[in-house]
Amino acid sequence: MKTTQVHKGILSISFVTAMVLFSVTQIADRTKVDAQEAARQPRTAAQTFKNIQVIKSMPASQLQSTMAFMASSLGVDCSYCHTPPAMEKDEKPTKQTARRMIAMMNDINKTLGDKNVVNCATCHRGQTKPAVVAPLPPLSNAGPTGTAPLPDIDEVVHRYIQAVGGDAALNKIKTRVRRGSVHLGTGPTGTFEIYEAAPNKQLLMGTLPPPLGSIHQGFDGTIGWVKNPNGVFEMSGDGLAQAKREGNFYADTKLKEQYTAMTLEGKETLGNHEVFVIRGTRADGSWEKLLFEVQSGLLVRRYWETTTFFGQLPNGIDYDNYKKVGGVRMPFTMRRSRPGMTLLQTVTEIKLNVPIADSKFSKPVVQK
């Protein structure tokens, strides 16, 4: 097989997801939850974690995403309320305040029929202190981006595929081995290796400085697993569903195969660029938005929302600096962001169509 060396280029998004989860789970010690046991009998946050006083009935599997929602609503990180790694400690007044605010929020929602209408973001809007003064109307002369007829979805998708090299060139790629660095917001810089094989196998090996350490995350086409300093754990539920989506070798190119419905929502402005916005809905009802630059046709953002116990948490991946490598164009950088967290990935090497044994993706055997 032909081997190609590529510098600073990549299309898949799986690494970003895994490293964001890695940085959070190591702090929260989420691996105390046995995924297989949780699948048999879901445990509550109070049964699984220490010193849970207000959100006792929340499913333990939702604690991480809910904490991320709270942090992003205030524009802070975990250490604003917690004392890592002893997350159960009550040393900070902000933690006590958070408990009172959650209780108040629950009381308000009860008066609204136990519906999740009010949450942290309702008042805080990314600030630690909610605004108490009504804002003036925004000073803006922005109008519609144009009145020209919109293209149909097939035209937008076809133009994108042609912009990155065309179906023939893309379909020749059957495996990828990628290496590079990742920078987590204002925090540490780490390294990674990703092994991928069509149609749906993937292995991530990531390393961050102590005390975070290293993580391996794999999907063998059926089973998703994580290996970290605490052991080997099999994925289930939402985590497994996400691993399946990200293990899709052609996730960034065979777009129409991933959705049961696609809708062109219109034209918007992203930074200094006009973009077409396509909403894709999957068979399970989940969705994401794909933003394609009008001028170049390239995919510049994927956007989706994660459901948490308190509300929807927005996520985005931005693609930038596309370069032509061989017969295919790839973005040199990718930036994953959600409120309160940004992760920048830079690929330094990628090898295409190298032999990778299926065993590379298998769940490690735990030595007893």
In a domain, 79, yes or no: yes
pLDDT at residue 74 in the model: 85
Q: What is the CATH number of the domain that holds 263?
A: 2.50.20.10
CA distance 237 to 66: 16
CATH number at residue 41: 1.10.468.10
The reported pLDDT for the residue numbered 304 is: 92
Same domain, 169 and 114: no
Q: Are residues 114 and 168 in the same domain?
A: no
Q: Are residues 111 and 73 in the same domain?
A: yes
> Is the same domain home to 247 and 308?
yes
In a domain, 297, yes or no: yes
Q: Which residues of 5-39 are buried (b: 16+ CB within 10 A; e: fewer)?
A: ebebbbbbbbbbbbbbbbbbbbbbbbbebebeebe
Q: Do residue 102 and residue 251 come from a single domain?
A: no
Are 199 and 325 found together in one domain? yes
* Same domain assignment for residues 72 and 110: yes
Residue 362 lies in a domain: no
Return the pLDDT at 17: 45
Residues 166 and 97 in one domain: no
Evaluate whether residue 164 is within a structural domain: yes
Q: Cα separations (Å) of 126 from 77, 182, 270?
A: 11, 25, 20
Domains: count for the chain: 2
The Cα–Cα gap between 175 and 195 comes to 8
Last residue of a domain, one of 90, 109, 124: 124
Q: What's the domain range around 201?
A: 4-15+150-357
- Reading the chain (368 residues) residue by residue, the pLDDT tens digits are 444 333 333 333 334 444 544 444 433 333 334 444 444 567 888 888 888 888 888 888 788 778 888 887 888 888 889 887 788 888 888 888 888 988 898 888 888 887 778 888 888 888 888 887 777 766 655 555 556 788 999 999 999 999 999 999 999 999 988 889 988 877 788 988 999 999 999 999 988 887 777 889 999 999 999 998 888 989 887 778 888 888 999 998 999 999 999 999 999 999 888 999 999 999 989 899 999 999 999 999 999 988 888 888 888 999 998 888 778 888 888 898 877 678 888 988 888 899 999 999 999 987 76
**What is the 3-class SS of the chain, one letter each residue?**
CCCEEECCCCCCCHHHHHHHHHHHHHHHCHHHCCHHHHHHCCCEHHHHCCCCCCCCCCEHHHHHHHHHHHHHHHCCCHHHCCECCECCCCCCHHHHHHHHHHHHHHHHHHHCCCCCCCCHHHHHCCCCCCCCCCCCCCCCCCCCCCCCCCCCHHHHHHHHHHHCCCHHHHHCCCEEEEEEEEEECCCCEEEEEEEEECCCEEEEEEEECCCCEEEEEEECCCCEEEEECCEEEECCHHHHHHHHHHCCCCCCCCCHHHCCEEEEEEEEEECCEEEEEEEEECCCCCEEEEEEECCCCCEEEEEEEEECCCCEEEEEEEEEEEEEECCEEEEEEEEEEECCEEEEEEEEEEEECCCCCHHHHCCCCCCC
Residue 254 in tokens: 């065979």
Q: Is residue 134 part of a domain?
A: no
Whether residue 137 is contained in a domain is answered as: no
